[in-house]
Structure 1
Amino acid sequence: MDISLMVALVIVLALFFDFTNGFHDTANAMATPIATGALKPRVAVSIAAVLNLVGAFLSTEVARTISGGLIREGDGGIQITPTMIFAGLIGAIMWNLATWLLGLPSSSSHALFGGLIGAVVVGTGFGAIDPGVLLSKIVFPAVLAPVIAAIVAFVATKLAYGLTAGRTEDSARRRFRVGQVFTSSLVSLAHGTNDAQKTMGVITLTLIAAGFQAAGTGPEFWVIAVCALAIALGTYVGGWRIIRTVGTGITDVSPAQGFAAEASTTATILASSHLGFALSTTQVASGSVIGAGLGRKRGAVRWRVAGRIGIAWLVTLPCAAAMAAIAELVARLGPLGVAADALAGAIVIALMFRRSRRNPVNSRNVTGEVPIIEHTPTVVMPKVPPIIASAKPTKPAETPKPAMTEESAP
């Protein structure tokens, strides 16, 4: 197959992955404000889309980690081809959509890394992967980031309840909901600085592998722009299934908990982006929600749901790698193999979307609210004796509004 055609095909597939990354990870920023009512669902995803777009232009450190660190350069240059990247993207996209269908907030980042690693190992061998970069920039952050985010969210939740003790419940709720708008916006901005760059890195890696760009250089401006647009569009579409899991499935999130979770998520992601760590924003956000749930007195974390999410974290990288390895084996047959991969991928994607229509989740039912009963039955009141009826009703004494406590959960 002509190299230019192959590069164009990889770029299109990379942008589609970027789109799936956007709607898969919308929950990272907007699940908790939607769950607490701080933002309407459509307003929330619109804000997230705009800020993801802006955030994508703020940094390129993570993109450089992918394009110039994970895959080693050999004697003849970088040891990856556009065909391998094509196979890696197929594995990442298939896993992203499978977990979206199940409503599991798995890592789009680890799906991408697993796909690239699986394709490169089959195509070139284990020697093409730099273990130092893999461990320091990907594996260690994957283990540490959600734990750190959970601890920070736990402490922040305790502080939030402690600092607002004595305030009325309504006042505390209102303040935290306003704060959630701010912190969730920061998470969206931080997400753009980290996740959009991963696709930038993949496209830059493809251009370098094809000889269209010098090794060691960062993403071109047009690459940054198209990746920013793709992830913003995906974010606006909204991955409602995952939003429901993060927002209401792990724990009953109060405004105070949501504020604390988003603040810790923002801090963790921005620090990692600055250091070039290609971590999973999904793991960070989920870890923050769990930590916030534990930080509330008598707070309940649904450990069965958290366990399913944890299993998805563990198997994401190897499963995406296995899918990509199969795709690479087929692609090695030549143009017919590449066409077979593309056709098989399109069929699987179509089947997944068709399956999702059997139990649709959208902006109207994402919070799992009880439907409003339109018809109210007529209540027949008993006849009141004349003496009682003529008596003047006494005005009940007003009771003071309760102070905000952890049990009242604003």
Structure 2
Amino acid sequence: MDTFALVVTIAVALGFTYTNGFHDSANAIATSVSTRALTPRAALAMAAVMNLAGAFLGSGVAKTVSEGLIETPVGDKGMGILFAALIGAIAWNLITWYFGLPSSSSHALFGGMVGAALAGGTTVIWSGVIEKIVIPMFLSPFVGLILGYLVMVAIMWMFRRANPHKAKRGFRIAQTVSAAGMALGHGLQDAQKTMGIVVMALVIGDVQGKGDAIPVWVKIACALMLSLGTYAGGWRIMRTLGRKIIELDPPQGFAAETTGASVMFTTAFMFHAPISTTHVITSAIMGVGATKRVNAVRWGVAKNIILGWFITMPAAALVAALAFWGVNLVFG
């Protein structure tokens, strides 16, 4: 196995993690910034630290990514498949970041893996793709929407006699905790996805065996790159989540973040399912906003975001397949 190919693939995987950080940093902090609970820089710093901490909380999601979606390819061709998968994911991340569309970095990665595997003739584990990716892709936003609505209704009922100004001040402080929970969940989910890719590259390169524990240096590298990307910020997407879907106040922001964090921790620890943080927080914001009145949510923006969800996996798969054919043409 070409050591250079292994090093380049791992470097590209860490590059993907960096784009994931600045692409998805908005997920954890947009609501806190839009309600003025935190300043943008303070929010980004907090999110970066909590992303770092979240990366060390588990490994179930990483195992799903490295073993449950495609058969581990072998040899130089296998490394080319992994490289092409990452190129497809990065390309789609950059396109959606440029246009400010909060699409899913996770599904860009999974689409890239499937597209590159199909182009390279590697077996796709369709049962894993359906059970761990497609079903959660539809189910998690629905849960986020309903749970966000119910959490906000409960808050409105519990604080119905409270002084509105005092309540808002209290929730502004509480948002520091809920935003930290979101960022911790983001680290738990998204750093592990790249860990799974790096582990797959190490298995292809015969550096470690299939099923071995994730090396500590892999956890540290993935966590650091995610944190650095997060601190770089995702201002375009932050505007979409924080303002364009609905104007949020502190209680609504707290409800949305608490909902998003709860769903992410549950899916990571109970089901080892790599869900999209983007999907969950966006749907939670919609559910929370619907308690105000249904037409308070800007459903036109929501429609465009949902369209992006359906396009992401096929688009990333296509780019990854083209990347594989290109690599194969040049180096094959």
Q: How many residues align?
A: 331
Deviates more, 1:17-26 or 1:77-86: 77-86
Indicate how the Cα distance of structure 1 residues 298 and 90 shifts in structure 2: closer, same or farther if over 3 A, else same.
closer
Letter in 2 for 1:270: F
Aligned equivalent of 2:124: 129
Letter in 2 for 1:123: G
* 1:261-299 deviation per Cα after TM superposition (whole angstroms, max 9, x unaligned): 001101100011112101111100101101111122466
Structure 2 gap segments, 5+ residues each: none
Aligned equivalent of 2:261: 266
Do the aligned partners of 2:72 and 2:200 also contact (CA within 8 Å) in 1?
no
Deviation at 1:219, TM superposition (A): 1.8
How well do the aligned residues superpose, as a CA RMSD in angstroms? 1.6
Aligned equivalent of 2:37: 38
Q: Distance in 2 between matches of 1:129 and 1:292?
A: 38
Which of residues 142, 151, 158 is equivalent to 2:153?
158
Aligned equivalent of 1:21: 20
Structure 1 gap segments, 5+ residues each: 338-410
Equivalent residues in 2 for 1:5-404 (5 A)?
A: 5-72=4-71, 81-125=78-122, 128-274=123-269, 275-297=271-293, 300-335=296-331
Deviation at 1:63, TM superposition (A): 0.5
Do the aligned partners of 1:261 and 1:285 also contact (CA within 8 Å) in 2?
yes
Q: Distance in 2 between matches of 1:249 and 1:301?
A: 9
SS at match of 1:81: helix
* 1:169-223 deviation per Cα after TM superposition (whole angstroms, max 9, x unaligned): 2101111111111101001011111100011000100111122110122321110
Deviation at 1:166, TM superposition (A): 1.7
Aligned equivalent of 1:400: none
Identity of aligned residues (%): 42
SS at match of 1:104: coil
Indicate how the Cα distance of structure 1 residues 298 and 175 shifts in structure 2: closer, same or farther if over 3 A, else same.
farther
Do the aligned partners of 1:23 and 1:237 also contact (CA within 8 Å) in 2?
yes
Do the aligned partners of 1:204 and 1:218 also contact (CA within 8 Å) in 2?
no
SS at match of 2:296: coil
Deviation at 1:29, TM superposition (A): 1.1
Deviates more, 1:264-273 or 1:158-167: 158-167
Q: Distance in 2 between matches of 1:273 and 1:65?
A: 10
Indicate how the Cα distance of structure 1 residues 70 and 31 shifts in structure 2: closer, same or farther if over 3 A, else same.
same
Rg bigger for which structure?
Answer: 1
Indicate how the Cα distance of structure 1 residues 299 and 261 shifts in structure 2: closer, same or farther if over 3 A, else same.
farther
Do the aligned partners of 2:75 and 2:205 also contact (CA within 8 Å) in 1?
no
Q: Distance in 1 between matches of 2:22 and 2:72?
A: 33
Letter in 2 for 1:148: V
TM-score with structure 1 setting the length: 0.78
Do the aligned partners of 1:158 and 1:296 also contact (CA within 8 Å) in 2?
no
Do the aligned partners of 1:251 and 1:300 also contact (CA within 8 Å) in 2?
yes
SS at match of 2:206: coil
Q: Distance in 2 between matches of 1:87 and 1:118?
A: 9
Letter in 2 for 1:163: M
Q: Distance in 2 between matches of 1:73 and 1:237?
A: 33
Indicate how the Cα distance of structure 1 residues 80 and 145 shifts in structure 2: closer, same or farther if over 3 A, else same.
farther
* 1:345-379 deviation per Cα after TM superposition (whole angstroms, max 9, x unaligned): xxxxxxxxxxxxxxxxxxxxxxxxxxxxxxxxxxx
Deviates more, 1:163-172 or 1:296-305: 296-305
TM-score with structure 2 setting the length: 0.97
SS at match of 1:332: helix
SS at match of 2:37: coil
Large movers: runs of 4+ above 3 Å: 77-80
Q: Distance in 2 between matches of 1:38 and 1:289?
A: 16
Q: Distance in 1 between matches of 2:215 and 2:25?
A: 26
Letter in 2 for 1:55: G
